[in-house]
Amino acid sequence: MPQSPADLPPSLPLTDKKRGPKYIVENKAKAALLMAWATGRPLLVLGEAGTGKSHLALAAANALKVPLVKTCILARTSAEDLRSEEHTSEL
């Protein structure tokens, strides 16, 4: 089990199956994960629909054995909204 994002292999499984789909971790994603891990802060992943944001989060959380918290950010979302448990869900 990796101790930090620096120890992550180039590809991470998306399921518990040995031959299941994998997420290929690019250098920018690995650097972002490492910075979030080192600072103890959450990682906000932005991007167009279908670019793999959810898969990155799922693969990294599984590999690092940390909880995955999912929330949808809208134009009207405030910082206070993100602090309340009703807007986030642990997967």
Report the predicted TM-score, pTM, of the whole model to 2 decimal places.
Answer: 0.71
Average pLDDT of the chain?
A: 83
pLDDT at 34: 92
Q: What value does the CA radius of gyration of the chain take, rounded to a whole number of Å?
A: 14
Instruction: Kindly report, residue by residue over 50-75, the tens digit of the pLDDT.
Output: 999 889 988 988 888 888 887 778 88
Listed residue (73, 43, 48, 47) closest to 58, CA to CA: 43
Environment class of 17 (CB within 10 Å of its CB; exposed 0-12, middle 13-18, buried 19+): exposed
Other residues' Cβ atoms within 10 Å of the Cβ of residue 84: 9
- For the chain, how far is it from start to end, CA to CA, in angstroms? 20
pLDDT at 90: 56
